[in-house]
Amino acid sequence: MSRSAASRANRRGEPPPSPEPLPSPALDSHTHLDIVLGERPADGEHGEWADDDAVDAEIAAAVAVNVPRLVQVGVDVASSRWSAALAERHPNVLAAVALHPNEAGAGAAIDDALAEIDRLAALPRVRAVGETGLDRFRTGPEGWAAQEASFREHVRIAKRHGSALVIHDRDAHEEILRVLDDEGAPEHTVFHCFSGDAVFAKACVERGFVLSFAGTLTFGNAGHLREAAALAPVGQLLVETDSPFLTPAPYRGRPNASRLVPHTVRALADVTGVQLEELCAHLTANAERVFGSW
């Protein structure tokens, strides 16, 4: 998800307390630490990047609950550069780089920007291209052609570098499958914040895609997500926060952070019937298969 308006709307109230640590290491496959920690200077005129100490403290809080692996996700050129630099200096973090579908829909996916994403994708600790995809909720029909063109270019960049592809899918399930089937999906394709039902999950699983579940899995009205998670093979599951968005129950609406992902891991254990410790081991193995080792 992006950007500052949504970010502010999701950051009401005090940060929730850290949950009990997981019994085995797991991960957060999708976070925006730059947005968690501040108003990033997207236009160069306001905001400040979080300082290294604040970022390190945030990561340490995740490590303290047995979440030692994070994927930091960029949504534009500036945050993609920041993500790549963080992954370069911090052993617990790998990076994903991209122009977000809503940025692309607003005209950001110009040649220079895509060339910079391509350059960043070649860096050794940048292991995924994303988040990219289609967002038919925040972008109106006038932006759909630009959004799809950008998505197709991101698929090509991921394949060129042998990187994972991280998909943002908002109200666009069938359209995304159409583009992926047409372009040929990269070997490792992740649906971040999976939002489909069992039927769509089956279509993704059959194609070998990985479903990454966010705090939405814990929401009372998310029966369709729990059905989707229950039918996916455990080898095709990941978990994430998409922090600072999508804070899991019982803290829905308060600021999210990677250290809260254990709530979602525990919910996923309940839904899948896989014992918690075993699930953590699967999630870590899946992450290392998709993104490579940290």
**List of residues contacting Zn ion (CB under 5 A):** 1, 131, 168, 242
d(CA 55, CA 203): 38
Between 66 and 72, CB nearer to Zn ion? 72
CB of 29 to Zn ion, least distance (A): 10
Q: Which residue has its beta carbon closest to Zn ion?
A: 168
Q: 136 or 168: whose CB is closer to Zn ion? A: 168
Q: Taking the chain, what is the end-to-end CA distance rounded to the nearest angstrom?
A: 24
- Measured at the CA of 11, the angle between CA 249 and CA 36, to 5 degrees, comes to 100
With CA atoms as reference, report the closest residue to 72 among 31, 129, 117, 36. 31
Q: Which is nearer to Zn ion, 32 or 266 (CB)?
A: 32
Q: Provide, rounded to whole angstroms, the least separation between the CB of residue 246 and Zn ion.
A: 9
Q: Which residues make Cβ contacts (< 8 Å) with residue 243, sequence separation at least 6?
A: 28, 31, 32, 33, 35, 36, 255, 256, 257, 258, 260
The DSSP secondary structure of 184-213, one letter per residue, reads ---SSEEEET----HHHHHHHHHTT-EEEE
CB-nearer residue toward Zn ion: 233 or 253: 253
Q: Smallest distance from the beta carbon of 281 to Zn ion, in angstroms?
A: 25
Q: How far is the CB of 102 from Zn ion (least distance, A)?
A: 9
With a CB cutoff of 8 Å and minimum separation 6, the contacts of 35 are 2, 3, 4, 7, 243, 244
CB of 73 to Zn ion, least distance (A): 5
**Nearer CB in complex with Zn ion: 34/242:** 242
